Structure 1
């Protein structure tokens, strides 16, 4: 079986990138890591793993459309089968997202559709949620609104603050993302023509919950 070529986009530490590397998923090769932040620690992780890396600094662009046009061109140089957003802190244009329709995944630190966007841990605490977590979804033009594939749940403890809650969620992200990417590599996972996530030949009526 030919290896699935993956490009990972990051903005920060790259801990989910490291989780994917540590998982050693069969039939999968991370061929490049791209960051919009020149000092992102995830670039060092790529270097240590002998993976090609590149920086495309969004500050050098006047608008989102021109940045995304160059980002798409850069990604396509690596001929990916899958683009993985791993803490890439950019809102993508509909044009770029459509180009990778069914081939782009994102992980978001909430139980989607709750708390789309930023500051999810603070918002979960403010809402007095008893349960929080993370979701992996196919990327669509709607921010954090694509079909959810899988989730992991974390209880909110009485003494939690955003930092402690976020740390527990992140630890579970490191289980969730490799599992979901592995499904894609094994050709078990796809975005259907009906706009829903399909797993093992059937549409997902509800996200898969990792225990």
Structure 2
């Protein structure tokens, strides 16, 4: 009976990890959710180690315990190697044309992904993760954004190798009507397809 409960908990954890992308779309991933998932992974790991030692002492004679060890072990290994799920939903429908990052501090960052179907996602991570989605059009080295809450109107791509990791800059601009000024923010480009 205990093995069935543990298998059920492991499978529920596995499904939660697999569908994390859809939770992220609706609310964003909070620090408390990530803490809960990390705690659940740690508890499953500790229980698996305890059950493995117990099974080893009995020379792996109990079939139900062996099945539980295999299932929970596979869930833990899959989570260890693919912590955000086995399926990459980001590239499900379209590939990345441009990936750019902005790091504002040690714990805060923003990642912009332009897709080949003229959609973009912008992920903000600073103690929690939130996403913004919209569409864009490209004219030469200028990218014009639509459906945006950050109100960056356009960005200009500058292609020059900064380091081995960064291959250019994306400078995004927005016009502040109240102050009649232009605000800019710079991203470092990590991936760019022509």
* TM-score of the pair, normalised by structure 2: 0.23
Which structure has greater helix proportion? 2
Structure ranking higher on relative contact order (CA contacts 8 Å, 6+ apart) = 1
* TM-score of the pair, normalised by structure 1: 0.22
